[in-house]
Amino acid sequence: MKVLLIGPAGSGKSLLTRSLGEWLRRGGYSVALVNLDPACGYLPYKPDFDIRSFYDIRKIMRKEKLGPNAAVIRVHELLSNNLEKILPELKIERDFILIDTSGQMELFVFRETGPKIVEALKDAVGIFLVDATLMNPIDLVTLKLMAQVVRLRLNVPVVPVITKVDLVPEINFANSAQLTREIRKQKGSVVDLALALNKSLDGFDIPVRVIKISSKTCEGFGELLSTLYETYCECGDLT
């Protein structure tokens, strides 16, 4: 199974790549770790495939007189134009291939190249990560919605995940009925919108269940794994 890790900068994609990889290996699975973030200075894991070994972002910035974001977009363009050459390198036969994406998710999700790369990868599943320290009930609706936005953009099933729950153990509104109750306690003009969105998100073909995890303690990894399998199977015809 190919798992794309997507989320805002600092949400914990790279650490999850490492700790989920280690956890799966301890469970007897074979795992490959893939870095698709050309701009990362440091990675907390040793990648089996690293986009940085194909494209040097600093050289591209200097040569093409680009800023850091434009250079990441350029690398994605170069990658998507050379997929046939580069993808054989990515044909890694493992039970799980964990793919760490760009530090800034919009460069991957909202440009035209991210969807092209994901299509070429074939039958991937996404994890959309949000940091628990930034979470209130209305943000949770945003998380669920964003997971579906990523699904629409990349055309893959996406599991919404709250990470860093070791820092905020008291988040107790992951389940939809609890969430509706908690949203009703909030104030402001967005409450009705949040309620309506939450209700419509629950009516989807794939249930939008939110998983709570910690990459420090591995809490929630079992549930994440079973949800990934479930999502992958329910989306069925992914070949």
Residue nearest to Mg ion (CB): 14
- Smallest separation (angstroms) from ligand GDP to the CB of 8: 7
Contacts of 103 by beta carbon, 8 Å cutoff, 6+ apart: 9, 37, 39, 40, 72
Output 125 or 197, the one with its CB closest to ligand GDP.
125
- Closer residue to Mg ion, CB minimum distance, 20 or 201: 20
Site for ligand GDP in 84-143 (CB under 6 A): 103
The three-class DSSP label of residue 156 is: coil
CB proximity list for 162: less than 8 A, separation 6 or greater: 130, 131, 132, 135, 140, 143, 171, 174, 210, 211, 212, 213
203: burial class by Cβ within 10 Å (0-12, 13-18, 19+)?
Answer: exposed
Pick 49 or 197: Cβ nearer ligand GDP: 49
User: Minimum distance from CB of 237 to Mg ion (Å)?
Assistant: 32
CA atoms within 13 A on the CB side of 175: 3
Contacting ligand GDP within 162-221 (CB under 6 A): 163-164, 166-167, 214-216
Residues in the chain: 239
Alpha helices (H) in 110-155, listed in sequence order = 113-121, 137-154
Nearer to ligand GDP, 151 or 164 (CB): 164
Q: Structure tokens of 18?
A: 């490492």
Identify the residue among 4, 11, 109, 227 touching ligand GDP (CB under 6 A): 11
Taking CB within 5 to 8 Å according to partner kind, which of Mg ion, ligand GDP, none is near residue 151? none
Given the rule CB under 5 A, which of 6-14, 18-26, 68-76, 154-162 is the region that contacts Mg ion? Answer: 6-14
Among 14, 19, 148, 215, binds Mg ion (CB under 5 A): 14
Q: CB atoms < 10 A from the CB of 61, how many?
A: 17
Task: Report the interface residues with Mg ion, using CB under 5 A.
Answer: 13-14
Task: Report the interface residues with ligand GDP, using CB under 6 A.
Answer: 7, 9-15, 103, 163-164, 166-167, 214-216
